[in-house]
């Protein structure tokens, strides 16, 4: 029996990547699961530059977005801005997800809410990784916030590369294949996994499997982690072809 799932995306107004990478991953499952189909529905929060001040102001709009998407009776909602959550302080993804779930319930919807920030943490833990190396498009102070957030979540960051692009539209225009070269400059000694893009706006999907095959470590991103949580919350098998270990058909968990 054919089943359609409505995926709601809460995105920054200048985000151009989540509405391409998430559909690409979910639609690529068609060969394996022909009975599934997905539609995608977005609501936007105003943000042009990736600064702590703009991120905090933008986050206030997330409640409105959740209400709008619950009007459409989406089956799952994804808050697709990692740094907006992580810049608010340790553990904020939990309170944000809980608050948005209550907002949705208040609008007579039962859609679960996931965040890319919480999804990345859960994705790292799902593959058994405790130490990671990361690449971000952010200015270094914001990358440091990501590192601190991961550290307080029990994940040690071995090394990081900040591409220092503050204009969010320019982040979306970055060539994902350049991440192959950047990953070669990343110190992965002692790391259990690599976060190729700790940002849902920085395109990375075409490079994830290539980098994973080259370095021999699990490679994930904020976007692949978000898709993993979307599928789990829909009660679907969390697998996507050529999207790294987290979404592989057979996962090998790192044992420590």
Active site residues: 81, 199
Ramachandran angles phi, psi of 30, nearest 5°: -55, -40
Q: Tokens in use for 223? A: 């976007």
Q: How far apart are CA 200 and CA 84, in angstroms?
A: 11
Q: How far apart are CA 54 and CA 11, in angstroms?
A: 14
């Amino acid at each position: 029996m054919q089943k359609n799932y409505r995926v709601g995306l809460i995105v920054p107004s200048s985000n151009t990547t989540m509405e391409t990478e998430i559909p690409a991953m979910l639609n690529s499952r068609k060969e394996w699961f022909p009975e599934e189909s997905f539609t995608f529905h977005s609501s936007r929060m105003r943000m042009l530059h990736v600064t702590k001040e703009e991120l905090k102001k933008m986050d206030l709009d997330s409640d409105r977005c959740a209400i709008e998407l619950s009007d459409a009776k989406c089956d799952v909602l994804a808050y697709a801005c990692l740094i907006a959550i992580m810049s608010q302080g340790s553990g904020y993804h939990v309170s944000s997800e809980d608050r948005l779930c209550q907002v949705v319930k208040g609008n007579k919807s039962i859609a679960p809410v996931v965040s890319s920030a919480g999804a990345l943490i859960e994705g790292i833990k799902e593959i058994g990784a405790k130490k990671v190396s990361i690449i971000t498009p952010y200015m270094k102070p914001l990358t440091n916030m990501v590192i601190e957030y991961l550290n307080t979540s029990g994940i040690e960051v071995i090394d990081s590369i900040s591409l220092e692009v503050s204009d969010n539209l320019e982040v979306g225009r970055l060539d994902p294949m350049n991440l192959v070269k950047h990953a070669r400059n990343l110190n992965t000694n002692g790391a259990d996994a690599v976060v190729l893009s700790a940002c849902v706006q920085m395109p990375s999907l075409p490079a994830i499997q290539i980098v994973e095959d080259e370095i021999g470590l699990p490679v994930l991103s904020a976007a692949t982690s978000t898709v993993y949580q979307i599928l789990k919350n829909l009660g679907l098998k969390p697998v996507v072809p050529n999207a790294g270990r987290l979404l592989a058909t057979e996962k090998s968990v790192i044992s420590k």
